[in-house]
């Protein structure tokens, strides 16, 4: 759960090595005793830090909280705050050809991070910095990605073993073996087999089976006749046909194959759980033993599959979407020729960004149709990203050493404590929450584990098997290595120190099953965080991010998990009803927001993120006010600290987005577009109206203000 900006898909291998449906990312992934009659006192564990935040910079001239050049003062802040805060930046920063959207903060930081990563990887490839763990492997992976001449020469030869396994499919035995072999290289076809914490006993790791295997972003692209989905579906079929031709199929056969693939995927789509339902944890928990899995997939050899993926001996499984698995089982009964076409296509589709230029360019055409980017990123950027995907904690260790030091990490932790302190106060005073539910909420708050900058223990990549000049070998090897690591967790205690993002990630997340917040070093940079900046800037930037992630623990999805991360209702019926009524107010408000003509935000899909944005803004603001009162001073600036705070918050979301990108975001993503991540929470927070003297009747002052936390 969190802040995640939807990523451009042109250079992303379409493999998922862990289901992230419950991981709440920023951007565009136990039983409690609730006794006691009196409201509990504020817990000492989340008292505000004794030290003043950003104290190290007090003797220096601080940098301003806001970017004055980004403003558009021709727009009144009470009319359209996003346009006021970002209009100048938007006019001065057209979208680069390689991007589907361009965010002032996320892309600015990412570009700096990737430039540093490039420098590090080039040094590793040249044999320098050999003292850095796995420098040789990282350098070899990166240089093999840059070796386009060798990639062109190799053609499809490196994936021939995968295609040959598919060619051997003729019955359910050979189909089972092919599915297992493809799963081990991260190709989830048509379902994903992985490990996951047990939703109702998060101390243990079990096996999990999830719906997967669609080439388009969502089921509705197959089932809807509305535009633009219908046009994209036609382009997708033409794309599948072209990819079969590139792989050697004659034109007539390629078209027939594309038609068969689309029909097959349409059947899978019809049985796929809707994206809105994927946010309802109770609908995703269907535990079975090995006999239950055999029954669910009776048309496959389940024991052979489980052995083939390295999970032999697994005793507990969760079938996340039983209706989807039932459809897969039905399809596995016969027509193995159609299965071969589907599997061959998914291999080409999943690995196209790593193949020769003809496949890369054709794959990019689909990304263009979906998101609108005009050009591929430079090769070095794609290779930096591929290396980060393959060996994220290895490159992350080098990155952290070169960026955020221990002092920066300490100051960030002080900020988190300040945000948690305000949540504690808010829960204690919340009028609509009864004492038993309040006690459970405060217990959950105190139990949250905060992870900052980088893991305590760095992951080992020993045995990953990287070779010089063998890019696809390295890609598949990295996926096998990660798949095996995930499967090895089954039946073992949960590793609560593990990170699910690499340290250079410009992102953050809340994980409900571990009840933890994670803030990688990659995002702890300007404009989100700067130790030498005025407090209003840091609270409006990274403070809002922290409040956003913290609120996810109590949003419509996160609040279904208790302090230990177990799926358990700890709400009294009356309080639950009140929460749902308040959340419904926000859902209706966002449903009304028009992104493009006749294209509206999906208030239900985005509800959790919208709750988190509103809660995060409020918590960060209150934490800033607490610090200023403690210091008994106001920093000398033309604008008040309150105005600076809100502008700094808004400028973290300044963005230019292509229409295609917005269409896909609204159709598939749980985050609202940038404009509404600013105007939505600001409009529903009275302190914003007070800061800018907004009056009833102004566009930024809704008639019915929604308030939850």
Provide φ and ψ at 255, rounded to 5°.
-65, -45
Cβ atoms of residues 379 and 146 within 8 Å: yes
3-state secondary structure of 318: strand
> DSSP code of 459?
P
Residues 87, 639: Cα–Cα separation, whole Å: 18
| Interacting residues of 202 by C-beta distance below 8 A, sequence separation 6+ | 30, 494, 513, 514, 564, 565, 566
CB atoms within 10 A of CB 517: 27
Handedness of CA 317, 167, 272, 609 (dihedral sign): positive
Residues 243, 221: Cα–Cα separation, whole Å: 19
Residues paired with 424 in a beta bridge: none
Q: CA 1 → CA 553, 609, 681, distances in Å?
A: 9, 8, 17
Cβ atoms of residues 495 and 489 within 8 Å: yes
> Catalytic site residue 549?
yes
Compute the chain's Rg from CA coordinates: 25
Nearest residue to 432 via CA among 578, 618, 580, 581: 578
> Catalytic site residue 449?
no
Q: Biggest alpha carbon distance in the chain? A: 77
Helices (H), 564-640: 573-591, 607-631
The gap between the terminal CA atoms of the chain, to the nearest Å, is 17
Say which of 132, 388, 549, 562 is annotated catalytic: 549
Residue 341's Cα: distance from chain center in Å? 31
* Dihedral of the alpha carbons of 672, 676, 678, 684, in degrees to the nearest 10: -110
Cβ atoms of residues 140 and 122 within 8 Å: no
Q: Which helix (H) or strand (E) holds 676?
A: helix 674-683
Residues 470, 147: Cα–Cα separation, whole Å: 9
Q: CA 75 → CA 79, 82, 83, 523, 540, distances in Å?
A: 7, 9, 7, 30, 21
For 492, counting Cβ atoms within 10 Å of its Cβ (0-12 exposed, 13-18 middle, 19+ buried), the class is: exposed
CB atoms within 10 A of CB 171: 11
Say which of 420, 613, 642, 660 is annotated catalytic: 613
What are the residue numbers of the active site?
549, 613
């Amino acid at each position: 759960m969190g802040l995640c900006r939807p990523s451009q898909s042109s250079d992303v291998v379409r493999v998922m090595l862990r289901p992230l449906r419950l991981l709440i990312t920023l951007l565009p992934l136990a039983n409690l005793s609730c006794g006691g009659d009196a409201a509990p006192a504020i817990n000492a564990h989340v008292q505000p830090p004794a030290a003043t935040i950003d104290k190290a910079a007090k003797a220096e001239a601080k940098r301003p909280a806001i970017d004055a050049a980004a403003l558009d003062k021709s727009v009144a802040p009470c009319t359209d705050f996003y346009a006021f805060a970002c209009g100048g930046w938007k006019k001065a920063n057209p979208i680069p050809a390689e991007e589907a959207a361009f965010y002032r903060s996320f892309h600015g930081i990412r570009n700096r991070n990737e430039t540093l990563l490039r420098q590090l990887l080039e040094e590793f490839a040249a044999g320098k910095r050999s003292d850095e763990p796995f420098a040789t492997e990282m350098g070899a992976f990166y240089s093999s990605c840059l070796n386009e001449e060798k990639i062109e020469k190799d053609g499809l030869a490196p994936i021939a073993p995968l295609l040959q396994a598919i060619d051997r499919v003729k019955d359910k035995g050979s189909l089972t073996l092919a599915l297992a072999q493809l799963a081990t290289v991260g190709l989830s076809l048509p379902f994903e087999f992985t490990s996951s914490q047990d939703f109702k006993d998060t101390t243990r790791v079990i096996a999990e089976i999830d719906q997967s295997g669609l080439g388009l972003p969502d089921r509705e692209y197959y089932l809807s006749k509305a535009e633009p989905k219908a046009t994209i579906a036609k382009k997708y079929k033409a794309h599948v046909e072209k990819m079969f031709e590139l792989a050697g199929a004659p034109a007539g056969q390629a078209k027939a194959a594309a038609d068969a693939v689309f029909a097959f995927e349409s059947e899978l789509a019809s049985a796929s759980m809707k994206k809105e339902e994927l946010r309802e944890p109770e609908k995703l928990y269907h535990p079975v033993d090995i006999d239950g899995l055999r029954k669910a997939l009776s048309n496959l050899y389940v024991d052979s599959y489980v052995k083939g993926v390295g999970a032999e001996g697994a005793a507990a499984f969760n079938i996340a979407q039983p209706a989807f698995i039932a459809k897969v089982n039905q399809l596995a009964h016969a027509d193995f020729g159609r299965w071969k076409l589907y599997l061959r296509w998914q291999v080409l589709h999943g690995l196209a960004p790593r193949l020769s230029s003809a496949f890369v360019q054709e794959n990019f055409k689909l990304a263009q149709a979906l998101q609108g980017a005009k050009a591929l990123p430079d090769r070095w950027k794609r290779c930096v990203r591929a290396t980060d995907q393959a060996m994220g904690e290895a490159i992350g260790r080098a990155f952290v050493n070169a960026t955020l030091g221990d002092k920066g990490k300490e100051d960030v932790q002080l900020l988190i404590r300040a945000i948690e302190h305000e949540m504690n106060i808010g829960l204690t005073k919340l009028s609509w929450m009864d004492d038993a539910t309040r006690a459970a909420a405060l217990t959950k708050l105190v139990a949250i584990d905060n992870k900052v900058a980088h893991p305590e223990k760095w992951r080992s990549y020993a045995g990953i098997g990287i070779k010089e000049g063998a890019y696809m070998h390295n890609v598949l090897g990295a996926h096998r290595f990660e798949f095996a690591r995930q499967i090895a967790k089954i039946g073992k205690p949960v590793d609560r120190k593990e990170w699910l993002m690499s340290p250079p990630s410009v992102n953050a997340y809340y994980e409900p099953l571990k009840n933890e917040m994670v803030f990688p070093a990659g995002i702890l940079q300007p404009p989100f965080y700067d130790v030498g900046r005025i407090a209003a800037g840091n609270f409006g930037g990274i403070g809002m991010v922290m409040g956003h992630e913290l609120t996810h623990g109590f949003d419509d999805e996160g609040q279904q998990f208790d302090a230990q991360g177990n799926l358990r209702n700890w709400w009294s019926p009356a309080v639950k009803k009140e929460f749902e009524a308040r959340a419904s107010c926000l859902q209706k408000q966002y449903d009304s927001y028009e992104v493009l003509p006749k294209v509206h935000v999906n208030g239900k899909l985005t509800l959790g993120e919208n709750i988190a944005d509103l809660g995060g803004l409020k918590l960060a603001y209150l934490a800033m006010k607490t610090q200023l009162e403690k210091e008994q001073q106001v920093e000398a600036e033309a604008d008040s600290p309150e105005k600076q705070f809100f502008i700094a918050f808004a400028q973290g979301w300044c963005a230019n987005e292509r229409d295609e990108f917005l269409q896909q975001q609204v159709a598939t993503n749980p985050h609202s577009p940038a404009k509404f991540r600013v105007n939505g929470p600001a409009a529903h927070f009275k302190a914003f109206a007070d800061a800018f003297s907004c009056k009833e009747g102004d566009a930024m002052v809704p008639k019915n203000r929604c308030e939850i936390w």
